[in-house]
């Protein structure tokens, strides 16, 4: 293979990892060739001549370094052997071999690892039955510790304001700053400051609902499972008032920041397509942002510059399904769903005609098919018509959006709510009636965090 000024750098780095290691020794600026955004943009066109300019090293020395690295790569184990060696290190660690011994073996045998390789290894260990997903949650900290020196070499992100990763990073800066304030605060102020950290659950919710589903689409489910489990360990700790538990929460949150920035975010930047990021950006608004961070508007995805355009659904559309604002359902699924909901539903269209009611097994108020097409005014006794007319008038004008009633019928407590329905253009399209028997819900006390099947 002839190496010259016009040779592209990325194929060399991907085929011969030692090329990157040797270029990094010449200049730390070589780290940008591991940056996912750079790799997907200017990195694709980068030649050795461009590398020489970026690293501020002569082209002759660059070519010589690359040639030497390629020759030396003959002594490096092939990719399959490398993965087996990494897997053995992890399994030995789980058996109790000292971490420092394994670190030395790792540096000698492998030398470097990417966030994606860590994810692949964890996934492979789960798939092969070596690790229970619940067990790997406890061991993820050890995985990071084993590979920490390698992960610490990664470059800072070159993201653009408005890109979801930029927003996550800005929130992490605010989280880290708040943690410093909590630790340095007097004991009398510590709990109050710690309460502010509760906003972090929104940060985690965005990851769980925006990033994890797309990772799973790329067949990466192990790391999301691990992170979600740690989120659930952190959430109850956020309610703590004891110093020991507060410090435990702070440590777990700091560890999570490290895992996000050294494993999760590089992984997403490597594998998410531009349309994936558009989908993430669109969904963020529904969940929200925290610690005063708001996304910028500089990021312009090349596949869709208008974030308000309809986005492709991640899930595969079933045959005969209807496209909804989010996802798609068949008519049968919609019908069964409406009948399964623990409420009575009735819909009155824009002409005040009853167009639908949910035919549940234990309706609160009796209905029959003869009501369909009848005006809602005629479905109420004369003494109630004025009230019905008033509600409809205010709904149609936009003056009111909700009307509520509740009644005690023997032991049953019934809540009746009417909702005005308007389309995206603000046009009135009808009224939805929702009735629910709430006596059991009103009697609940305390908490039940897990399902307990009754008789």
Q: Where are the domains of the chain?
A: 9-75, 79-151, 164-287, 331-443
Assigned CATH topology for domain 164-287: 1.20.120
Cα(416)–Cα(407) distance, rounded to whole angstroms?
A: 8
Cα-Cα end-to-end distance for the chain: 73
User: Averaged over 393-419, what is the pLDDT?
Assistant: 92
Cα(119)–Cα(240) distance, rounded to whole angstroms?
A: 32
How many C-beta neighbours within 10 Å does residue 54 have? Answer: 17
* Tokens (6 digits) for 237: 């700790």
Cα(173)–Cα(175) distance, rounded to whole angstroms?
A: 5
Q: Is 146 helix (H, G, I), strand (E, B) or coil?
A: helix
What pLDDT is stored for residue 40 in this prediction? Answer: 63
Cα(186)–Cα(383) distance, rounded to whole angstroms?
A: 65
Cα atoms in the 13 Å half-sphere on the side-chain side of 271: 22
Of 51-60, 273-282, 313-322, 327-336, where does mean pLDDT reach its minimum? Answer: 313-322
Cα(233)–Cα(253) distance, rounded to whole angstroms?
A: 10
Domains 164-287 and 331-443 share a fold: no
The helix or strand, by DSSP H or E, that contains position 434, with its residue range, turns out to be: strand 428-437
In the block, tokens 């824009």 appear at 350
What confidence tens digit (pLDDT) does each residue in 87-101 have? 676 677 667 777 677
Q: Is 264 helix (H, G, I), strand (E, B) or coil?
A: helix
What confidence tens digit (pLDDT) does each residue in 196-212 have? 999 999 999 999 988 99
User: Averaged over 359-365, what is the pLDDT?
Assistant: 81
Which CATH code for domain 331-443? 3.30.450.20
The helix or strand, by DSSP H or E, that contains position 323, with its residue range, turns out to be: strand 322-323
In the block, tokens 């929130």 appear at 171
What confidence tens digit (pLDDT) does each residue in 408-438 have? 888 889 999 999 999 989 999 999 999 999 9
């Amino acid at each position: 293979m002839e190496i010259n000024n016009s040779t592209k750098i990325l194929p060399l780095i991907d085929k011969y990892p030692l090329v990157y290691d040797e270029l990094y020794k010449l200049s730390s600026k070589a780290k940008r060739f591991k940056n996912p955004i750079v790799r997907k943009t200017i990195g694709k066109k980068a030649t050795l001549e461009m590398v020489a300019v970026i690293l501020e090293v002569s082209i002759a020395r660059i070519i010589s370094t690359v040639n030497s690295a390629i020759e030396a790569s003959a002594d490096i184990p092939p990719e399959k052997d490398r993965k087996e060696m990494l897997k053995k290190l992890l399994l030995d660690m789980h058996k109790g071999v000292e971490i420092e011994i394994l670190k030395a073996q790792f540096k000698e045998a492998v030398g470097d690892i990417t966030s994606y390789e860590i994810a692949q290894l964890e996934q492979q260990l789960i798939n092969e039955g070596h690790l229970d997903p619940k067990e790997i949650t406890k061991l993820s900290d050890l995985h990071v510790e084993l590979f920490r020196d390698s992960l610490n070499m990664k470059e800072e992100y070159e993201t653009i304001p408005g890109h979801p990763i930029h927003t996550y990073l800005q929130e992490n800066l605010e989280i880290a700053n708040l943690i410093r304030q909590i630790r340095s605060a007097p004991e009398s102020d510590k709990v109050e400051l710690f309460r502010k950290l509760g906003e972090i659950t929104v940060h985690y919710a965005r990851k769980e609902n925006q990033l994890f589903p797309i990772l799973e689409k790329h067949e990466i489910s192990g790391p999301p499972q691990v992170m979600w489990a740690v989120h659930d360990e952190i959430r109850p700790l956020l309610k703590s008032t004891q110093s020991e538990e507060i410090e435990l929460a702070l440590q777990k949150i700091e560890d999570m920041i490290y895992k996000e920035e050294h494993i999760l975010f590089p992984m997403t930047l490597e594998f998410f397509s531009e349309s994936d990021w558009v989908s993430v950006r669109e969904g963020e608004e529904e969940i929200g942002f925290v610690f005063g961070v708001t996304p910028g508007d500089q990021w312009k995805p090349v596949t869709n510059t208008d974030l308000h355009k309809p986005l492709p659904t991640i899930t595969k559309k079933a045959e005969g399904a209807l496209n909804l604002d989010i996802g798609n359902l068949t008519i049968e699924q919609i019908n069964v769903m409406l009948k399964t909901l623990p409420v009575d539903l009735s819909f009155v269209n824009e002409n005040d005609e009853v167009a639908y009611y949910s035919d549940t097994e234990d309706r609160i108020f009796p209905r029959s098919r003869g009501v369909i097409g009848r005006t809602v005014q005629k479905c109420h006794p004369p003494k109630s018509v004025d009230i019905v007319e008033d509600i409809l008038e205010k709904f149609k004008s936009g003056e009111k959006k909700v009307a509520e009633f509740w009644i005690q019928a023997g032991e049953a407590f019934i809540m009746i709510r009417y909702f005005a329905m308007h389309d995206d253009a603000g046009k009135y399209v009808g009224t939805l009636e929702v009735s629910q028997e709430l006596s059991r819900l009103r009697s609940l006390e305390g908490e039940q965090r897990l399902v307990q099947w009754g008789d």
